[in-house]
Structure 1
Amino acid sequence: MPFIAIALAALAMGFEQLVQWRYGPMGLIAFVALTVGIKARNTVISGIGAVILVMLFAQSG
């Protein structure tokens, strides 16, 4: 179980760094909003984060 938690944390940190490198500060803000919203079970905050990330992904493609 601890190995899975460490692996998931490393994967999340890697994804966060990728988002920040690729999409800048707005990508980081969106990722943090999505993460905080999911952890707090707040659909408004997680929805805002998800919408911003989708807009950033669509803009780059």
Structure 2
Amino acid sequence: MPVLALLSTVFVIGFEQAVQWQYGPAGIVGLLLLTVGIKAKSPACSSAGAVLLALLMAAPAL
């Protein structure tokens, strides 16, 4: 069980770093809103995070 927890932690940290590198601070805010909304079972918060991430991914690269 500790190995699974360690692997999931490494994956989450790596994913957060990749989002921040690719999409900047707005990507971290979107990911944070999505995560908090899912944990708190708040559809408004998770939807806002999902929409922000979708907009960042759909925007043309500058």
Q: What TM-score do you get using the length of structure 2 for normalisation?
A: 0.88
CA distance in 2, matches of 1:16, 1:24: 10
Determine helix, strand or coil for the equivalent of 1:35.
Answer: helix
| Aligned counterpart, 1:58 | 58
Residue identity (%):
46
Cα distance in 2 for partners of 1:59, 1:43 equals 24
Point out the structure with the larger helix share.
1
- Across the two proteins, how many residue pairs are aligned to each other? 61
- In structure 2, the partner of 1:35 is 35
User: Who is 1:12 aligned against?
Assistant: 12
* Corresponding letter in the other structure for 1:33: L
Matches of 1:44 and 1:2, distance apart in 2: 33
Rg larger for = 2
SS of residue in 2 equivalent to 1:41? coil
Which amino acid in 2 is paired with 1:11? F
4+ long deviations beyond 6 Å: none
Matched letter for residue 15 of structure 2 = F
Question: How far has the Cα of 1:50 moved from its partner?
Answer: 0.5
Over the aligned positions, Cα root-mean-square deviation in angstroms equals 1.2
TM-score (norm: length of structure 1):
0.89
**Structure 2, gaps ≥5 residues long:** none
